[in-house]
Structure 1
């Protein structure tokens, strides 16, 4: 089976992870979509099984990597500050996210 494009659209609540030096903002991909993505992307997974993706929230689009979380059994999408500012993203507010896996 050949997969040319993997695109996912979902709504997720923005949450905050506080690190020692900085805070990280994330949206969690639903578990069923994460399982699908992991199954069909083994050949393009990078370090830590991350996936290079193009992401979109509202009118803002950026490239980043999604990382799998064992605790959540899902991929995590980090949201850059520039995107948060441009789209009025706040912690606890659901966001509609579109993700396209790159490198297939």
Structure 2
């Protein structure tokens, strides 16, 4: 399943800062439809994603009925991303 969406980079300040893009409601609903097939436990969903020219693999985190796409420094640095930036994501759910 391939999805494309836009979202804002958000920072979660815990013991170490983490950065995410929230998957919009419509795309989250599509992911929930296949979550049982794709999840390897704890509700996380493996994905391949691309922002700009940077492709990466990660797992979506479930949050409040939707999903968060984590953005590691290896993605943010080459794309020059910071909290508050608007990004376009192309993402494939892996199973």
Is TM > 0.5 for Structure 1 vs Structure 2? yes
Q: Residue 43 of structure 2 corresponds to which residue in structure 1?
A: 49
Alignment of 1:1-104 (within 5 A): 6-20=1-15, 22-70=16-64, 73-103=65-95
Bigger CA radius of gyration: 1
Cα RMSD for the two superposed structures = 0.9
State the number of aligned residues.
95
Structure richer in strand, relative to its length: 2
Residue 37 of structure 2 aligns to a residue in which SS?
Answer: coil
The CA deviation at 1:16 is 0.3
For the Cα contact (< 8 Å) 2:38–2:93, is it kept in 1? Answer: no
Structure 2 residue ranges without an equivalent (≥5): none
Runs of 4+ in structure 1 displaced over 2 angstroms? none
- In the superposition, the TM-score normalised over structure 2's length comes to 0.94
- In the superposition, the TM-score normalised over structure 1's length comes to 0.87
- State the distance in 2 between where 1:24 and 1:47 align: 21
Structure 1 residue ranges without an equivalent (≥5): 1-5
